[in-house]
């Protein structure tokens, strides 16, 4: 029997428009293709590329924690690998970011002795940087899942860009078909941000375009108006940096001296 292998790829956000050639090759060549994507068009496109394509979405059960669904997906993927197939698992966006079954199936396959690899893809942050004109290199950036940001407070640098994920789904740890955002959780986040930023500080609620014909959704508002901001479960919040701290001249001198010593 042939040895099974696993490649985990991402499809980006624009149906077929953002998939990389190397990921597409894996999608097409796989003996078994599994996928978890956010819109029917991407699913239909994947089926057109590989007739074996099987959706993973029905691993979710109403009212269950996300972990149970993740476990079911990993088991579906691994069963095909153990059966000796060349398996590809395709997730929307980047397969390492915020999709636990991507990394977990990779780890488990390798643990069981199968070759396994992940390919990079366009992430929601890549879309945000392009659509909002933000260079994360200029001021630095903090990325955090919004529920985690509130539940496990950490020190963070407000002079860097802050990107908070899943701000419409704060505290919603169980799967629901209902996609009503959690306004109460979002208000707790708004309160926490008011302690760090001035009321007039402009922030953006952002949703990447899911289809080539649609524009991304970008709404700029001051921190003071966040509690009533338009919200959906897949909104991302972008908080621009506060003004830079003054340059540490002593440190700069030390770095320049270190350079001339080489």
Contact set for other proteins, span 219-258 (CB under 8 A)? 244-245, 247-248, 251-252, 254-258
155 binding other proteins? (CB under 8 A): yes
105 binding other proteins? (CB under 8 A): no
CA 247 to centroid of chain Cα atoms: 33
Q: How many residues interact with other proteins (rule CB under 8 A)?
A: 76
Minimum CB separation from other proteins for residue 12, in Å? 7
Owner of token pair 């050639």: 21
Given the rule CB under 8 A, which of 52-60, 80-88, 128-136, 196-204 is the region that contacts other proteins? 128-136
Contact 102, 95 (CB under 8 A): yes
Choice from 130, 211, 218, 219 touching other proteins (CB under 8 A) = 130
- Quick note: the x/- pattern for other proteins over 13-42, rule CB under 8 A, is -x-xxxxxxx--------------------
Please say which residue, 142 or 221, places its beta carbon nearer to other proteins. Answer: 142
DSSP per position, 111-169: HTT--EEE-----HHHHHHHHHT--HHHH-EEEEEHHHHHHS-----TTSEEEEE-TTS
Minimum CB separation from other proteins for residue 159, in Å? 7
Please say which residue, 64 or 84, places its beta carbon nearer to other proteins. Answer: 64
Choice from 84, 120, 222, 227 touching other proteins (CB under 8 A) = 120
86 binding other proteins? (CB under 8 A): no
157 binding other proteins? (CB under 8 A): yes
Sites for other proteins among residues 172-201 (CB under 8 A): 173, 185, 188
Q: Is 182 left (phi over 0), alpha (psi -120 to 50) or beta?
A: beta
Strands 5-10 and 86-91: parallel
Q: Which helix (H) or strand (E) holds 44?
A: helix 40-49
Choice from 91, 114, 129, 206 touching other proteins (CB under 8 A) = 129
Q: What is the DSSP letter of 22?
A: H
Choice from 41, 68, 97, 221 touching other proteins (CB under 8 A) = 97
Given the rule CB under 8 A, which of 29-37, 41-49, 52-60, 129-137 is the region that contacts other proteins? 129-137
Using alpha carbons only, give the angle 144, 145, 147 rounded to the nearest 5 degrees. Answer: 125
**Alpha-carbon separation of residue 58 from 68, 109, 131 (angstroms):** 12, 22, 32
Minimum CB separation from other proteins for residue 219, in Å? 19
Choice from 2, 63, 133, 195 touching other proteins (CB under 8 A) = 133
The values of phi and psi at residue 141, to 5°, are -150, 145
**Distance of alpha carbon 223 from alpha carbon 199, whole angstroms:** 5
């Amino acid at each position: 029997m042939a040895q099974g292998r696993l490649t985990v790829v991402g499809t980006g956000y624009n149906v077929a428009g953002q998939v990389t050639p190397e990921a597409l090759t894996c999608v097409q060549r796989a003996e078994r293709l599994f996928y978890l994507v956010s819109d029917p068009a991407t699913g239909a496109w994947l089926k057109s590329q590989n007739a074996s394509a099987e959706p993973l979405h029905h691993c979710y059960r109403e009212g269950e924690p996300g972990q149970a669904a993740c476990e079911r997906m990993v088991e579906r993927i691994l069963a095909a690998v153990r059966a000796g197939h060349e398996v590809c698992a395709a997730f929307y966006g980047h397969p390492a970011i915020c999709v636990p079954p991507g990394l977990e199936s990779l780890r488990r396959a390798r643990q069981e002795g199968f070759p396994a690899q992940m390919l990079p893809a366009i992430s929601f942050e890549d879309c945000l940087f392009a659509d909002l004109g933000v260079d994360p290199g200029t001021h630095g950036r903090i990325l955090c899942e919004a529920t985690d940001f509130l539940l496990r407070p950490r020190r963070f640098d407000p002079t860097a860009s802050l990107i908070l994920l899943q701000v419409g789904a704060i505290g919603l740890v169980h799967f629901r078909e209902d996609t009503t955002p959690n306004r109460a959780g979002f208000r707790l986040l708004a309160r926490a941000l008011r302690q760090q930023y001035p009321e007039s500080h402009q922030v953006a609620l952002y949703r990447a375009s899911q289809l080539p014909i649609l524009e991304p959704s970008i709404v700029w508002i001051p921190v003071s108006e966040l509690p009533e901001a338009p919200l959906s479960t897949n909104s991302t919040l972008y908080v621009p940096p506060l003004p830079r701290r003054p340059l540490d001249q002593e440190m700069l001198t030390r770095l320049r001296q270190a350079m001339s010593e080489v």
